[in-house]
Amino acid sequence: MCLAIPGKVESISGDDPLTRMGKINFGGILKEASLAYVPEVKVGDYVIVHVGFALSRVDEEEAHKVFGYLKEMEELAELEDSDTEPPPRRDKP
| 72 lies in the binding site for other proteins (CB under 8 A) | no
In contact, 22 and 11? CB cutoff 8 Å: yes
SS3 content of the chain, % helix, strand, coil (to 5): 25, 35, 40
Kindly state the number of chain residues that form the binding site for other proteins, as judged by CB under 8 A: 49
Contact positions with other proteins (CB under 8 A) in 2-61: 2-6, 8, 18-19, 26-31, 34, 36-39, 46, 48, 50-53, 55-56, 58-60
**CA gap 72, 59 in Å, rounded:** 21
> Given phi > 0 = left and psi -120 to 50 = alpha, else beta, which region is 14?
left
**Site of interaction with other proteins (CB under 8 A):** 1-6, 8, 18-19, 26-31, 34, 36-39, 46, 48, 50-53, 55-56, 58-60, 62-63, 65-67, 69-70, 73-74, 77, 84-87, 89-90, 92-93
